[in-house]
Amino acid sequence: MKKLVCFALAVMGVLTASAAFAIEGPSLTAQAPLQPVPDAVSSQPVPSFSARPVPGQAPIPVESAGIPLAQCVKYKDKCKIAPCAVPMVVLVKDPCAKCTDRCATPPCVAVEICVPPCSTCPPKVTCRRNGEYVKYDFGKYRVEIRSKNGVVRVDYDA
């Protein structure tokens, strides 16, 4: 019963306030202009985090990658590559590495793929099975990468 009375009082208060606002209208009183919030300056140094390779990260251009590419890569449906495609390097799970510690980040290898040139938005990246399957979806075109049994398979779909 106590909860019902509290609820009824709250509803009456809201209705009264909304009715008063509707009758009087919004109040236009002069207020002091707001001051911008100053930037926070920290006296402590910002810790630097080391970047660990994670399977399924965003692709990087080939020119800026000084990473050796994987040797055991098979490409499927090369005829479905986007026209004027740009080569990119992505990191995927190493198909030859054996998993000893499930909590550790899996070792990665670099694979070169071809992606549409000037994509208006970043690709939708799907990563499954701890990095064994990675899909880059660019809308009309997509690239599926499977990494298992010692071979990385790259499949292009339109």
In a domain, residue 133? The reply is yes
How many domains does the chain divide into? 1
Q: Residue 68 domain-assigned? A: yes
Compute the half-sphere exposure of residue 29: CA atoms within 13 Å on the CB side of its CA. 3
Q: 2 lies in a domain? A: no
3-state helix, strand and coil shares in percent for the chain, rounded to the nearest 5: 20, 30, 50
pLDDT tens track, the chain, 158 positions: 666 655 555 556 555 555 445 555 555 555 566 666 666 555 555 544 444 555 555 555 555 556 778 888 999 988 888 888 888 888 888 888 877 777 877 788 889 999 888 766 788 888 888 788 999 998 888 999 999 888 999 999 88
pTM, two decimal places:
0.56
pLDDT of residue 106: 78
Phi, psi at residue 135, to the nearest 5°?
-125, 130
Query: Is 17 part of any domain?
Result: no
Is 126 a member of any domain?
Answer: yes
In a domain, 94, yes or no: yes
Q: Does any domain span residue 107? A: yes
Question: Which domain covers residue 125, as residue numbers?
Answer: 60-157
Q: Is 75 domain-assigned?
A: yes
Whole-number pLDDT of residue 50: 47
Tokens describing residue 126: 């799907």
